Structures are given as C-alpha cells and as structure tokens.
Amino acid sequence: MRLFMTRSIWTGLALAALLPAAQPAETIKITEYAEPTQKPIPIALTGFSSEVARVLEFDLYVVGFKVVDEVAAQFTLRGGNSPQVEGRLTDNISKAVKFAKAYSGGSLRAQAHALADDVVEAVTGQKGIARTKIAFKVARGQSSEIYVADYDGFGATAVTQDGSVVAAPAWVPGQRKLYYVTYKFGNADIVWHDLGSGTRQLFARYTGSNITPAVSPDGRRVAMILSKGGSPDLYVADADGGNLRQLTRTREDESSPTWSPDGRLICVATRMDGRRVLATVPAGGGTLRRLAIAGVANPSEPDWSPDGRWIAFTAQMRNFEICVAPAAGGEAKLYTAGEDPCWAPNSRTLMFTRRVNGRRALSLLDVPTKQIKDAAQISGNNSQPAWAR
C-alpha cells in the first residue's frame, strides 16, 4: 500500500490544496502506474488501404510498434493489397531491405496478419501473435456463452449455445480444445470441448462447485477448484478426469489456478492470515507457500507468462488494477484499470477485461510500452479472455 500513499509529501500537499478543504490530506491515495520500460518502435506504412492498413496498425501497436510519418520512422513497410497483400520492409537507418513478400490465400485480413507477424519477427526476432486465437465469455442478461475469435476480436463465433451460464474457458496448449465450466446440467460442472469435431464431454461433476479449470503446459493434467470436500480447494486430475488429487486443504476459497511453464508449480489465489494472497504449490503435491508480492492488495486471477518470468494478476484496491510481478515474488507494477489478465504467447502482450459504463469489454495491453487498444467487441459483456498458446 505504501506505493500508493506516498508519491511525495509535496505532491500530496499540492493535490490537497486543489481539493475541497473537507477532505483530509492523509486519505489521498495516488495510484502510481508503472512507467513504460520501452519506447515504441516507429514504423511507417505506405501503399496499404482501408482494412489492411487498419489491421497492420493494430497488429503492430499491440506488440510495441507505433505507426508514424516516414520522416520519423525507423522502419518503412511499403506495399499494397490489390489484389493480394504484399510488403517490403526497409530499415531507414541502414537502408537495408529486411524482407519483401507477397501473400496469397485466405482473407485480406489473414494476409495482413501474416505480414504483421513477418515485420515483428524481422525487427525483434520474436514470433508474432497476429494469427493466434482467443476464447472468452459473453454474457447477455442471465445467460452466457463461450466464444472463440481471432486475437483482435474479429471473426467471433459461439462455441456453446446452451442458454445457461458458462465460465472460465481454458485452452489445451497447441490444440483446438477447451475446458470450461457450464451450468447446463444443473451443477457447476467442468467439460472439455473439441472444437474440431464438436465433441463435448463431462470432465468433473462432483457434488458442489467444479470451477476454474487450467490445463498444464503439456496438456496432460488439469488443475481446478472443487468444493466436494467441504471447502473450495485446489485439485489436479489427468486430462481424462482420472487420478484426481487434492493439493490444498484450506478453509479459504482458492480460485484461478495457473501453471508454471515447466509444469512443476501451480499458482492460485487464496487467503492467509486473513489477507488475500497469491500462493504456489508443487503440482505433484506439497506445501502451499505465499508468493511475496509488495505494493498491492487483494490479488486474484494470476496468469503465469509462457516464458516463466512473470505473473500477471488483478489487484482489487479502490478499483481493479492489472498488475505484473516477478514469478518468484517481488515488487508488483500496476499498469491500468482492468481485470483478468491473460498472457499472449509472446509474454509481453496481455488481454484483459475493462468495465466501461457498467459493461465489460476486452482490451489489449503491450506491457513494455504500455500501449492499450480495445479488441473488437460483440454485444453483451465480454470477459474472461483465454489466449490459445
């Protein structure tokens, strides 16, 4: 909390002077957001029109680029999109042509995404994320359904048509297969759903709530919260539901498990000594240990980055805040108001939920540059993003 109390005494006094006198200075809390750690990479786009230009600009923005005029650009992407997308990337300092490519097949959007990924890889050496998928929850009135879309929210299609409540989609890594919670059968049950064949099957239907599935990085195990033992505790089972094992035995309400990329640890939200905390436990069983995170209160919804270095989570202070802390614990950085962050495969971009005018929308945050852009929305409350990775 100290982080928010003291920017400096002088700032506090200066702000206090601007506020009504009735408000005592010591109640002022300044939410200090992290400064960007990287400057956006300036790039110019020339020759692209309408939709393709918009796709390229979006794709590059959410991984740390910024589209600028050519005079200010470090790179220039020259090309066109009639009848197909073509692009040639030039380094404006060395004048070297990094690549020149033409794209065929699929939609113009898909070709533009492919070009954006090539730009990212040529400039940063990292794989792009423009052709990845997300799953999320859409709630309208009293019911909700699971949707799958391109990572930018386009092409959203309903995976369920249950007319019930669904929650917490989780991908099987590398497969078109989801685990999620559905209330369709009168209980909060976990099912798996193969998106290729359409096959769906009950995975966990024990008495009480069966909630928040998380699939291990190797796809062989699933962590989840079950209350069959009399309290919401963390369990792990094989991907077919067998070999169930209880990992926590607390009186508190565990929630939102996430796996370390090596599959050894599971991080979960819980409560210790009356305070809400994040904690880790060996996936094969062992001691539940508090993850020491400084600078925030009431963490929940942890998500371990694919590179293993970070845990993104939601802190609930006056508002919900998107935070990132080192996976081994340490100082948390606050990025923006929002909840339920989920890492992209690149371990730098997060998708999260924003509450806008009482409605929930999906948004993207490039953590190093702090650039934020909303994904395309469909009507209703869009929440609980899960990135296929």
Contact 223, 248 (CB under 8 A): no
DSSP letter (8 states) at residue 57: H
Measured in whole angstroms, how far is the alpha carbon of residue 99 from the centre of its chain?
31
Least distance between another protein and beta carbon 331 (Å): 21
Classify residue 332 as left (phi > 0), alpha (psi -120 to 50) or beta: beta
Least distance between another protein and beta carbon 386 (Å): 12
- Residue 72's SS3 state is helix
Q: Residue 175, interface with another protein (CB under 8 A)?
A: no
Q: Residue 256, interface with another protein (CB under 8 A)?
A: yes
Q: Residue 255, interface with another protein (CB under 8 A)?
A: yes
Least distance between another protein and beta carbon 131 (Å): 22
Among 165, 317, 376, 378, binds another protein (CB under 8 A): 165
Query: CA nearest 87: which of 112, 51, 65?
Result: 112
Place of tokens 């069983």: 285
- Residue (63 or 296) nearer to another protein, CB: 296
Q: Which residues contact 9 (CB under 8 A, 6 or more apart)?
A: none
Among 11, 201, 356, 373, binds another protein (CB under 8 A): 201
- Strand (E) or helix (H) holding 377: none
Q: Residue 144, interface with another protein (CB under 8 A)?
A: yes
Q: Residue 287, interface with another protein (CB under 8 A)?
A: yes
Q: For the chain, percent helix, then strand, then coil, each to nearest 5?
A: 15, 45, 45
- Residue (23 or 207) nearer to another protein, CB: 207
Least distance between another protein and beta carbon 333 (Å): 19
Q: Which of the stretches 98-106, 117-125, 244-252, 321-329 binds another protein when contact is defined by CB under 8 A?
A: 244-252
Among 7, 29, 101, 228, binds another protein (CB under 8 A): 228
Q: Which of the stretches 120-128, 189-197, 259-267, 303-311 binds another protein when contact is defined by CB under 8 A?
A: 189-197
- Strand (E) or helix (H) holding 128: none
Using CB under 8 A, which residues numbered 58 to 117 contact another protein?
none
Q: Which two tokens stand for residue 186?
A: 């009168």
Q: Residue 252, interface with another protein (CB under 8 A)?
A: yes
Q: 189 vs 183, 286, 290, 328, CA distance in Å? A: 6, 26, 29, 32
Q: Residue 382, interface with another protein (CB under 8 A)?
A: no
Query: CA nearest 194: which of 179, 184, 204?
Result: 179
Using CB under 8 A, which residues numbered 300 to 329 contact another protein?
300-301, 314, 316, 320
Q: Residue 361, interface with another protein (CB under 8 A)?
A: no
* Residue 343 backbone phi and psi in degrees, to 5: -75, 140
- Residue (252 or 374) nearer to another protein, CB: 252
Q: Residue 206, interface with another protein (CB under 8 A)?
A: yes
CB neighbourhood size of 264 (10 A): 13
Q: Residue 184, interface with another protein (CB under 8 A)?
A: yes
- Residue 4's SS3 state is helix
Among 23, 37, 174, 240, binds another protein (CB under 8 A): 240
